[in-house]
């Protein structure tokens, strides 16, 4: 009986760590680490991007920060744009109990050229090929997560969108 309880606890802990494995790519706790996190993701793509602008906006009680990058194609420097939407919130905050919580910066979406966005999606779905996703896009759910986490890549009017929701 004791071994069943221990095994159950280990499986439960493993489900948290599986979801947390992806979180390290898309979440950080320090504002100064956000750009490094984004740069690390963008380094998986086909071109070099440079940060052009950071815009802050508010939506409800969450803070949304847009990072706008410029890249180049062979003929036109700074002609390719890439947008990263980062959500800032205080995890476990409870103002009624005077609990401030801990800061979390989480990437909500990345919009850009297909071959730059696809490698980011392949972090969570390594079996996805360029040929399989380009036609209809793709979705991946994090298995055995204590909360529902889904990643997707889809074509939109602004370009290809990697999204975490």
pLDDT of residue 7: 34
Cβ–Cβ < 8 Å for 112, 67:
no
Counting the structural domains of the chain, the total is 1
The two tokens of residue 122 are 């392949």
**Residue 163 pLDDT more than 70?**
yes
Cβ–Cβ < 8 Å for 60, 87:
no
- Residue 38 lies in domain: 2-164
**Residue 60 pLDDT more than 80?**
no
The residue ranking higher by pLDDT, 135 or 6, is 135
pLDDT of residue 156: 93
Per-residue confidence band for 46, with pLDDT thresholds at 50, 70 and 90: confident
Mean pLDDT over all residues of the chain? Answer: 82
Q: Give tens-digit pLDDT for 26-40.
A: 999 998 999 999 999
**Residue 24 pLDDT more than 80?**
no
The residue ranking higher by pLDDT, 79 or 54, is 54
Report the alpha-carbon distance of residue 75 to residue 126 in Å, rounded. 31
Q: Please choose, from the candidates 121, 158, 123, 157, the residue with its C-alpha nearest in 3D space to the C-alpha of residue 137.
A: 121
Q: Please choose, from the candidates 12, 83, 77, the residue with its C-alpha nearest in 3D space to the C-alpha of residue 48.
A: 77
Q: Report, as an integer, the average pLDDT of 99-120.
A: 94
């Amino acid at each position: 009986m004791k071994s069943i309880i221990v095994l159950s606890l280990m499986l439960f802990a493993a489900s948290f760590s599986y979801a947390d494995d992806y979180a390290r790519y898309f979440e950080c706790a320090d504002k100064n680490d956000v750009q490094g996190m984004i740069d690390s993701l963008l380094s998986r793509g086909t071109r070099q991007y440079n940060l052009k602008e950071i815009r802050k906006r508010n939506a409800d009680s969450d803070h949304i920060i847009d990072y706008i990058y410029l890249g180049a194609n062979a003929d036109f420097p700074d002609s390719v744009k890439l947008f990263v939407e980062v959500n800032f919130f205080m995890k476990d905050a409870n103002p009624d109990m005077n609990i401030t919580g801990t800061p979390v910066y989480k990437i909500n979406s990345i919009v850009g050229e297909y071959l730059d966005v696809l490698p980011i999606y392949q972090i969570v779905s390594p079996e996805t090929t360029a040929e399989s996703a380009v036609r209809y896009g793709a979705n991946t759910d994090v298995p055995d997560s204590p909360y529902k986490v889904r990643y997707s890549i889809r074509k939109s009017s602004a370009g290809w969108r990697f999204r975490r929701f």
